[in-house]
Amino acid sequence: MKRCFLLLIISLSLVSSICAQGEPKTAVIRFYGIVNSESVARLLNTVDAKIKEGNKRIVLLISSPGGEVFAGLTAYHYLKGVPAEVVTHNFGAVDSIATVIYCAGSKRYAVPQGRFVLHGIALTFPPNVPIEEPMMQEQLRSMQNEADSIAAVIAETTKRPIEEVKNTLIKRTVLDAEEAKKWGLVQDVRSKLYDEGADVVTIAAQTTTSAPQIVSSPAELRFSTSSTAQFFTNEKPLGTKP
């Protein structure tokens, strides 16, 4: 009887050991703030460092109002190509180009009160910058190309027709967590973000720029009077007075 009991304990220990070995080493990154070249560079450098430490799964917790389209698309393509499983989790609001970064997750979650904003892009210039016709035409072509890229990413993620996605962006659509799940953007709604004791790295940044930027925005094409690549919520940049 004692021998059988001992064998049972050994068997359970082996099973527990095998299960533990089956769980990949996981890194948790909390990305909070605007999407721009600086914040994305910090994100990708952190991902590289965590992979070098032996992590096979990257959990990206994200809450962002959006920002620069080029930076967001760069982050998406990089995260899709790293040698690790990427899990994305909306823990607040994932708006505009931040939605594209969110789409990089092979598993995609959102907290019950999470929000997504899907919309088009806008062009913003710093003040007193001369704009020649060839430059404007080049910028417009870039805008169209990047708008198509955003639609393609979301269409591939949600398995929806690209024309439907383009129309959704034009309509400036807001989705809560359950609506985003029905739409195919979110796979599951859950409150838990990570396990107890996890080492969480935080990336939060908002900087200014002096160069012309294409930013994700629900506003029409306009020239901003601010040198900051801004996220627009309606007819005015976020944070400005009426």
Residue-range domains of the chain with CATH = 24-216 (3.90.226.10)
Q: What does the pLDDT read at residue 123?
A: 77
Encode pLDDT of 95-126 as tens digits: 999 999 999 999 999 999 999 999 988 777 77
Q: Is the pLDDT of residue 61 over 90?
A: yes
By percentage, how much of the chain surpasses pLDDT 90?
62
Task: Output the six-digit token pair for 172.
Answer: 């400036």
Q: Is the pLDDT of residue 206 over 90?
A: no
Region 157-180: what's the mean pLDDT?
Answer: 96
The DSSP bridge pattern shows strands 26-32 and 173-176 to be unpaired
CB atoms within 10 A of CB 35: 34
* pTM, to two decimals: 0.77
Q: What does the pLDDT read at residue 193?
A: 98
Residues in the chain: 242
Across the chain, mean pLDDT equals 81
Alpha-carbon span 12 to 56, nearest angstrom: 26
Q: Is the pLDDT of residue 53 over 90?
A: yes
Q: In angstroms, how far is the first alpha carbon of the chain from the final one?
A: 81
CB atoms within 10 A of CB 169: 21
Task: Output the six-digit token pair for 169.
Answer: 């962006």
